[in-house]
Amino acid sequence: MHVFVTGATGWVGSAVVQDLIGAGYQVTGLARSEDKAARLAATGAKVLRATLDDIEALQTAALASDAVIHTAFNHDFSRFAENAEQDRRVIEALGSALQGSARPLLVTSGLLGLTRGAVELEVASPASARKSEVAARTLTERGVRVATVRLAPSVHGLGDYGFIPLLIRLAREKGVSAYLGEGRNCWAGVHRLDAAKVYRLALEQGVTQSVYHAVADEAVPFKTIAEALGRRLGLPTESREREHFGWFAHMAAADMAVSSRHTQALLGWTPSGPDLLTDLDQPGYYLD
């Protein structure tokens, strides 16, 4: 099987490429710069040198593939609305290329917006500002075989440059590892190599579901995360108001406790990587 992967040099996408190639798949990956294209080629993947705005190139790559995995997203949160709209356009374009065939499309989303305080199954729909799931549902109505992989807010592992490193930088800057209120809101977590397997297994299973959860740790209290960071940084762990977190306050306050029981049973997926708190106890997470 030949799979086209967007975001192929990103934190999740590069793990997806690694997993697919290791399982014997042919991969074409999207890379937006020469240095990233060179790193991608070194993995054994073919390279499409383009950006998410090169719609015609993306559609051509999708037409030449047996399946498409879309992991790319611009995480510049200062222009989130524009990036979400770009994501919608890309998903629409990829789906249009696949329409009328049985070739599957997997898109990527998150967990923000699920019912507060509940451990939700895959049937729940988060009220996320990202437009990926809405775009996927629209394609489903047009007969495209499409599903959404929802990633835990912490897709962790050494080399992580997501939300946990952001919290580490904030703690160093403010001199305290903080949480909001009593810190009882929970995050889900998954190791990046485990997350990558969900995409491949969903393809192998035939993409029969509309949603898959790439989640290993269902519910890690935010206060517990803050305490783990504080111990490693040698800083106090204390409650702070929303202003302490700035633009990140919405995420710091979010309940994203989510089950993947259905995904695990359906795909035969058993996460085997270290859990979030084990990862956070590694010195490599705290290198400047």
CATH of segment(s) 2-151+192-213: 3.40.50.720
Q: Give the confidence band of 115 by pLDDT, cuts at 50, 70, 90.
A: low
In DSSP terms, 69 is beta-bridged to 5, 106
What contacts 70, CB < 8 A, 6 or more positions away? 6, 7, 90, 91, 94, 105, 106, 107, 108
| pLDDT at residue number 72 | 93
CATH 3.90.25.10 domain extents, the chain: 155-188+218-286
**SS3 state at 120:** strand
CATH of segment(s) 155-188+218-286: 3.90.25.10
Q: Give kind and range of the element (H or E) at residue 19.
A: helix 11-22
CATH 3.40.50.720 domain extents, the chain: 2-151+192-213
Q: What is the mean pLDDT of residues 87-100?
A: 95
| pLDDT at residue number 279 | 95
Distance CA 188, CA 215 (A): 6
Q: Give the confidence band of 133 by pLDDT, cuts at 50, 70, 90.
A: confident
What contacts 215, CB < 8 A, 6 or more positions away? 111, 150, 152, 188, 189, 190, 258, 259, 260, 263
Sign of the CA dihedral 108, 170, 251, 201?
positive
Distance CA 288, CA 283 (A): 11
